[in-house]
Structure 1
Amino acid sequence: MTEIAIPAGSPFGTDNLPYGVFSTPGTEPRVGVRVADSVVDLAVVLGDAVFARPTLNAFMAQGYDRWVEVRRRITEVVTGVLPDEAVHAVGDVTLHLPVDIADYVDFYASEHHATNLGRLFRPDSAPLMPNWKHLPVGYHGRAGSVVVSGTDIVRPCGQRKAPGDPAPVFGPSTRLDIEAELGFLVGTGSPLGSSLTADDFGRHVFGAVVVNDWSARDIQAWEYVPLGPNLGKSFATSISPWVVPLLALEGARVPTPEQDPAPLPYLAETRPWGLDVDLAVEWNGEVVTRPPYRSMYWSPAQMLAHLTINGAPARTGDLFASGTVSGPDKDQRGAFIELTWGGREPVTVAGEPRTFLLDGDEVAISATAPGAGGGRIGFGEVRGRILPATQAHR
């Protein structure tokens, strides 16, 4: 029998209890919960076959009351004595994509990020488009290219055209970038023709993950007018393997920044779902920026309300992400295009001036938040390494 020791200050204590999908050598993927530096096999300790499945979808679909009850049971179980076969060291398991992603939408919810990109892309115009403070702007991405942390990212190819070029060319992206974001996973959705309110967020969204929305800025800049991002984004989006339950984030809940003008009634929140989450971005092992999620203009609850207001369905496993998290200061910018001001102001990484990603570069984004018990809870990290474009696409 095993008793898990939870060190003081652990970001994975009982006020967190993030879910993931793991396997051990010779076994199939199944659902576990992280406690300190251990992974607890929930199918074993709870005796429920829903946790023997290779994704969290079936459990998430059981709904809010079930999530609350299971969290209560897990808290009781993991503070006691557990069967040896139910406890595995984190370093001994393989972590998998935790959810079968149904749909993927990425928003653009940071006023600081949107303003910076507006100044970079449209220097002779107002930085924010006229609609930006009236609705959470977003685009529909590719669910099939959402991958778990640790998956290598192949440099994408596509058309690109610099302002001075006479015609577009085809080839590997030369301005490959990251976007540090939070993502939210729908647990129970809504049928076609209906909608969810911002106040429905807490009962319909299961949890949150760290997201890296990899971005090929040169491909994006040529393609995005008039319909927005496509190939510059759809090649890969990475998420962290641990899903922090929304139930664990009550201690991180804060007001959003003042929203002026006041949002339309369908975007109103009785109690705003701003979140005090601190992100950190490592580039080849060196922290280069620390974006604060609490500065995000639009809350995830407002994103969910906007996502469904036209009658679009929400489904178990839907992922919607915040867009780049950026703060007001230079060292809080969550994308390298901002951090280096379009490549004109390189940052120093391991003693070298850098702008966009080179082959072999590795990026890791981590996040922590205040926990209900007064300490901090961890999201873990989302990590990816850049591989050269494949020969077939050159």
Structure 2
Amino acid sequence: MTVAADWLQLPSDHLFGVSNLPYGVFSPRDGEARVGCRVGDRVLDLGAAAEAAGMESALVWQTGTLNAFLAEGRSAWAAGRAWIVEMLTNDTRRGCVEPFLYDLDAVTLHLPFEVADYVDFYASEQHATNVGSIFRPDGDALTPNWKHLPIGYHGRAGTVVVSGTDIVRPTGQRKGPQDPAPVFGPSVRLDIEAELGFVVGDSTQVGTRVGVDQAEDHLFGMTLFNDWSARDIQAWEYVPLGPFLGKSFASSVGAWVVPMEALAAARVDLPGQDPQPLDYLRGSALFGLDISLEVAINGTVVSHPPYLDMYWSPTQMLAHLTVNGASLRPGDLFASGTISGHDKGERGSLLELTWAGQEPITLKDGTTRAFLEDGDTVTITGTAPGPHGTRIGLGEVTGTILPAR
């Protein structure tokens, strides 16, 4: 097990120990934004520490986003992580680290990377089955294509916001089953979607594609994700072209990006794919992740979605994303889609938890929710297995609903 230098006084079971080291972007009080990594309950200014140590690569961390580092590629990511671990586990490096550590409560966290493109998938069989059962009770829950390809939609990169950003209730057209004509106004069925987001690095050319076994060269890390959804706007608009304004008003990402290397102990086999997917979705680099999420509304825990049973591997999602020749850019983001388990308490959206509003949930203050109300705060947290039986933290993604404007 990798152990932090004694002077750091970091508990061996800390969720943000040296086996984790997620990246983020922060600014100290009256300071500019720069790249850091979380070490316990502090954040290390990587650019300043690297400069103090005489590292030529310090420049990629002396910026307000992770994008320059993302562009360096997998070998640079591995070398950078190895250097950070060395700095934090070698007592002789204290002088290059200690002056550049900031307490978390003394900094502001920012969007960790500039989102180049954003795609959201639909990779949970349990979620897709629940949604299909709600909207097609007399038909097949899964659409005919679902087990043949990772279904997704191309979202709006410019409305991806960092955890802690307030979410303004969206306004748009909606038409309920009993409405004679569509109406315009604030969404009345505002929902959450508990997901993981995968951050992409390096780049490819338009007209090329990335195979399953090459996908890991572009998978930099993972972050918590909440794809806020206006179900009433979505229901009226989505035929025939899919999600649009019901999704594009806001999506929240966590402030910390956990490197894929830190998730090695969380890797598991996929639950099994039947029928066997087409050749371009096969390979040796297929994996699932044993990640546990917790969803809370106003402090009441309402769900524990498990990523463990997700049907499609992140490498398959990336391979499918590029199979038509779509290029990759540093800062591309793709999300897993709502994570839901087999049990009711494992559903990752209010649509499922309340079965489209028919079975409202009760919060600890005695109030009930079918969908989100103004003033509600949603917080999603997560953990994953670490080395030697430990666990690592994924941070949180949180947002508070403001009234429509």
* TM-score bin, normalised by smaller chain: over 0.9
Question: 1:374 deviation in Å?
Answer: 2.5
Structure 2 residues without counterparts, runs of 5 or longer: 1-5, 52-57
User: Would you say 1:359 and 2:363 are equivalent positions?
Assistant: no
Give, as a single letter, the amino acid of the residue that structure 2 aligns with 1:261: P
Question: 1:69 deviation in Å?
Answer: 0.8
Give, as a single letter, the amino acid of the residue that structure 2 aligns with 1:323: G
Give, as a single letter, the amino acid of the residue that structure 1 aligns with 2:347: R
2:129 to 89, 94, 115: 115
RMSD over aligned CA atoms reads 1.1
1:183 to 197, 202, 217: 197
Structure 1's consecutive aligned runs of 4 or more residues displaced over 4 angstroms after TM superposition are none
Give, as a single letter, the amino acid of the residue that structure 2 aligns with 1:70: G
**In the alignment, is the contact (CA less than 8 A) between 1:249 and 1:372 conserved in 2?**
no
Distance 1:357 1:3 in 2: 46
**Equivalent position of 1:42 in the other structure:** 46
**Equivalent position of 2:362 in the other structure:** 348
**In the alignment, is the contact (CA less than 8 A) between 2:212 and 2:285 conserved in 1?**
no
Q: Deviations over 1:304-333 (max 9, x none)?
A: 000000001011100000000000000000
Structure 1 residues without counterparts, runs of 5 or longer: none
User: Would you say 1:292 and 2:306 are equivalent positions?
Assistant: yes
2:278 to 261, 264, 272: 264
Question: 1:201 deviation in Å?
Answer: 2.2
Q: Deviations over 1:6-35 (max 9, x none)?
A: 113111011111000000111100000101
**Equivalent position of 2:55 in the other structure:** none
**Equivalent position of 2:383 in the other structure:** 368
Question: 1:175 deviation in Å?
Answer: 0.3
User: Would you say 1:339 and 2:353 are equivalent positions?
Assistant: yes
Distance 1:37 1:347 in 2: 34
TM-score normalised by length of structure 1: 0.97
TM-score normalised by length of structure 2: 0.94
Spell out the pairing of 1:246-257 with structure 2 (5 A cutoff): 246-257=260-271
User: Would you say 1:18 and 2:33 are equivalent positions?
Assistant: no
**Equivalent position of 1:219 in the other structure:** 233
Spell out the pairing of 1:174-213 with structure 2 (5 A cutoff): 174-213=188-227
**In the alignment, is the contact (CA less than 8 A) between 1:254 and 1:272 conserved in 2?**
no
2:87 to 55, 72, 77: 77
Question: 1:202 deviation in Å?
Answer: 1.8
**In the alignment, is the contact (CA less than 8 A) between 1:106 and 1:139 conserved in 2?**
yes
Q: Deviations over 1:60-118 (max 9, x none)?
A: 11111111111111001123324543010111110000000000000000000001101
* Identity over aligned pairs, percent: 60
Question: 1:372 deviation in Å?
Answer: 2.5
Distance 1:3 1:49, change over 3 A: farther
**Equivalent position of 1:55 in the other structure:** 65
**In the alignment, is the contact (CA less than 8 A) between 1:5 and 1:36 conserved in 2?**
no
Distance 2:204 2:271 in 1: 28
1:3 is paired with a residue whose SS is helix
